[in-house]
Amino acid sequence: MSFVPPPWPLAKPDAHPQAGAALCHAHKFGGSSLATAERFRQVAALLRGTGASRIVVVSAMQGVTDALTTLAQSALARQRWHDDFRALRDRHIAVASELDAEGAHALVAWLETEFAALQASLATPSRRPEWFATLQGAGEVWSARMLLATLDGAAAGWAVLDAREVLAVHPGELGVGVDWPRSRARLATWRAANRQANVIVTGFIARGSDGAVTTLGRNGSDYSAAIFAVLCAASELTIWTDVDGVLSADPRLVPDAVCLESMSYAEACELAYFGAKVLHPQTMAPAMQAGLPIRIRNTLRPQAPGTLITAESAPAASPVKGLSLVSDMALLELTGAGLIGVPGTAERMFAALHAASVSVTMISQGSSEHSICCVLRADQAERGRMAVQAAFRDAIADGQVEGVRVTPGIAVLAAVGDGMVGTTGVSARLFNGLAQARVNIRAIAQGASERNVSVAVSAEDATRGLRAAHAAFWLSPQTLSVGVIGPGNVGRALLAQLAQAASRYSGAGVIPIEARPMEARQAEERQTGASGLDLRLRAIANSRRMHLAPRRLDPSEAVAALEEGEALDFARFAAHVRAEHLPHAMIVDCSGSDAVAAHYAEWLAAGIHVVTPNKHAGAGPLERYRAIRAATRHGGHFRYEATVGAGLPVIQTLRNQLDTGDELTEVEGVFSGTLAWLFNRFDGSVPFSRLVAEARELGYTEPDPRDDLGGVDVARKLVILAREAGRELSLEDVEIESLVPPALREVGREEFLSRLQELDAPLQARLDAARREGRALRYLARLDSEGRARVGLVSPDPDHASLHSQLTDNLVQFRTRRYACNPLVVQGPGAGPDVTAAGVFGDILAIAQALGARP
């Protein structure tokens, strides 16, 4: 037979398509793309109507290779296999009946013959590798024939190439190698007999150097696709799968993982070797040698552009392209002073592991040479330990080596990206992200190429660490699991602000980020710049009940959810907020309860950040205050700006002065927006009791106005500021003047409200006395240079700043060594739930920024 030139040129393994050459596009469809008759029709629709010739490599239908392997093993073990055989046969016959309903391609009859041959083979099993390989590879043969029928066969210009007729391979030290000259020659012969422009190729199967049927190993169909794409000088290889492309992390562990637009071969290899499932590393070898572009696309969403893998990827905003996690690992460590400076120690250790057929995933050794450790598969750990222990038996007996220790329950987290090369601070960002999430690193490894930084962590921390690292490199929003306690005036205002801000920080109101199409989320993030933070409300509680949401809670529906909640349990509440699969946790206490403040230290020690306007922590028992401050050393952030000035930066201003070396001498001012409003209005024209009632209606007072009028709230703020400045002041040390007459201090709230007018006469008398001296009344707090603290009603000098403030203004004057003559003043609205909630929200965002978010 004379040679017929193919519609596409044959190529050497290092060839690249020449300009003007006939275009050939290679495709590969995995098992998930061929799982049902509907999927076969979708694949056929994708392949019709393109201008280029097509080489299509197919896998077996989803799950078929595993099923065939089980059948072969059962037959060899003389176990029952007939039921599984019938299930496999019936599945293929059912799909074939749909694809070739009219019988035009005799697909069902052909499959019946194939399965009869399979049944006969199973009935006479053989230990020969060729028998096993022939059975394992049958699924690809069936898939190819079924796709041929779906595409209307030879009449539509399609042919099936059984790879065993062409692909010649040989075993190699690093896996199956290709005999390129023999494969090219066989392909030329096959093309001479098959003139169709488009070819369907069976993946996974080949013939060895002895002519026996063999396979390319797991994920071998991808390898087949790369090989045939190179053999046929394809311009590009598209691998169709069930994801949009190569993702920045496993979406099952990181729901916010993004699809990468492009990658280099080196990046793809690193991610593949470290557990990314989209592309097998062996696939890259022929492509890299030939400069063949590979594109990963989704069969179910062909409109998605996918990920393009070439020699060099496009520049990215983050130096890290992706992160992967390898689980079920163990850490093997050899330690001893006798290892220091001894040549050949590492060689001896790894030779022992090699001899025991133990694969090493990661190696780490300190410059002191006192210890050397490696990470290996958990199921090989004991075998590895015994091998190394035997290799160093004499040194262990002599005491030069302490021994070999295995730590189970390890996972390896790898950060990969070409942008890491020469970029300073990449490791620091990774380690800081893990530290913020309270993930301890057991071992570190980085290659000289700088494309990969790998760390060994506890398996219990692995998912949390992966999410934290993913957010640290701005590949996804920084996620905070949030629980809110105390849905009173301030708590409700905060929930309203969270609901309003949700669209800014998650891009779609209260719709979970992970529920939206990926490209829609990415487009929104590019437009709004709001990719940095995901505040995920997951729990809410009042003094009696709590509601724990498994995923997230809509802030606008949180209070109503309490009606169907369960009894409050602080331990369960905190444990739920501190979800292991989320990197960061925060409890926001808006309750004003001393009982809640008593839990702050344990929450902070557990790594839960705490934000609060509750003054009981900062002004409560001194021992508890010290315990809270000490607990922050464990990584939990404690923010309480709203305890003193609602939304004003009072504590921040004082902290800035102290941290830069200044020294506080005196504090004075109006520390209550409620009392500021009352005495800015109180001029004798309206009874004081009526002003109190009006302030309560406006929401300026606590539900019981005595909490404001008693002065204790102001005294607590003074104690908080004093302690911030390093003074060990307690509430008992503050002289407090209460505006509530003794007769009204112990009665019920309703009775007190009904007798408010009893406040009028004494306060009118104080006002009259002040006016006779040309002065007014203000309720001030003061801490003097001697440490004396007092809160109460005074008649300040006419030029005092408090006499010139607005209605609800808080006003805090700091006298310090730097501001001795002219005090530093912080002034602004200090009453109302909205401004207080805004102060709390500001603290939440401050912690988020400290964790690396970009709100």
Residue-wise pLDDT for 137-147, tens only, equals 999 999 999 99
What is the Cα gyration radius of the chain? 36
Greater confidence (781 vs 22) lies with 781
User: What CA–CA distance (Å, rounded) separates 556 from 539?
Assistant: 13
* pLDDT reading at 478 higher than 90: no
The mean per-residue pLDDT over the stretch 730-742 comes to 95
Q: What DSSP letter does each residue of 527-582 carry, written as one string?
A: HH---SEEEEEEEEE-SSEEEE-SS---GGGHHHHGGG-EE--HHHHHHHHS-TTS
Q: What DSSP letter does each residue of 331-393 carry, written as one string?
A: EEEEE-GGGTT-TTHHHHHHHHHHHTTPPEEEEEE-TT-SEEEEEEEGGGHHHHHHHHHHHTH
- Name the pLDDT band for 524 (thresholds 50, 70, 90): very low
pLDDT in the model for residue 151: 95
Ranking 440-454, 561-575, 581-595 by mean pLDDT, the lowest is 440-454
For the chain, give the mean pLDDT. 88
User: What CA–CA distance (Å, rounded) separates 696 from 651?
Assistant: 27
In percent, the amount of the chain with pLDDT more than 90 equals 66
The mean per-residue pLDDT over the stretch 523-528 comes to 41
pLDDT in the model for residue 313: 82
Q: HSE-up of 100 (CA within 13 Å, CB side)?
A: 21
* pLDDT reading at 54 higher than 70: yes
User: What CA–CA distance (Å, rounded) separates 572 from 402?
Assistant: 43
Query: For residues 479-498, b (16+ Cβ closer than 10 Å) or e, as one string?
Result: bbbbbbbbbebbbbbbbebb
Alpha-helix residue ranges (DSSP H) falling in 398-488:
426-436, 462-472
Contact 33, 241 (CB under 8 A): yes
Contact 265, 55 (CB under 8 A): no
- Name the pLDDT band for 172 (thresholds 50, 70, 90): confident
The letter for the amino acid at 506 is S
pLDDT in the model for residue 278: 63
- Name the pLDDT band for 316 (thresholds 50, 70, 90): confident
- Name the pLDDT band for 779 (thresholds 50, 70, 90): very high
Contact 160, 151 (CB under 8 A): no
The mean per-residue pLDDT over the stretch 738-744 comes to 95
- Name the pLDDT band for 503 (thresholds 50, 70, 90): low
Which residue of the set 28, 321, 615, 717 is catalytic? 717
pLDDT in the model for residue 805: 85
* pLDDT reading at 237 higher than 90: yes
Structure-block tokens of residue 763: 């306060």
pLDDT in the model for residue 521: 45
The mean per-residue pLDDT over the stretch 371-376 comes to 90
* pLDDT reading at 789 higher than 50: yes
**Is the dihedral angle over the CA atoms 244, 247, 250, 255 positive or is it negative?**
negative
pLDDT in the model for residue 15: 46
CB atoms within 10 A of CB 728: 12
The mean per-residue pLDDT over the stretch 625-650 comes to 92
**Residue 55 CB partners (closer than 8 Å, separation 6+):** 8, 24, 25, 26, 27, 198, 199, 201, 228, 229, 232, 234
The letter for the amino acid at 48 is R
Give yes or no: 717 in active site. yes
User: What CA–CA distance (Å, rounded) separates 302 from 466?
Assistant: 29
pLDDT in the model for residue 399: 81
Residue-wise pLDDT for 459-476, tens only, equals 999 999 998 898 888 777
pLDDT in the model for residue 501: 82
The mean per-residue pLDDT over the stretch 807-831 comes to 90
Structure-block tokens of residue 809: 């203004």
* pLDDT reading at 10 higher than 80: no
Structure-block tokens of residue 800: 């005092």
The mean per-residue pLDDT over the stretch 355-365 comes to 90
Cα 513 from chain centroid (whole Å) = 12
Contact 59, 29 (CB under 8 A): yes
Phi, psi dihedrals of residue 214, rounded to the nearest 5°: -145, 175
- Highest mean pLDDT out of 50-59, 219-228, 607-616, 820-829: 607-616
User: What CA–CA distance (Å, rounded) separates 115 from 102?
Assistant: 21
Greater confidence (9 vs 327) lies with 327
* pLDDT reading at 21 higher than 50: no
Beta-sheet pairing, 213-215 with 452-458 = unpaired
* pLDDT reading at 225 higher than 90: yes
Beta-sheet pairing, 533-541 with 545-548 = antiparallel
In percent, the amount of the chain with pLDDT more than 70 equals 91
pLDDT in the model for residue 462: 93
- Name the pLDDT band for 258 (thresholds 50, 70, 90): confident
pLDDT in the model for residue 277: 62
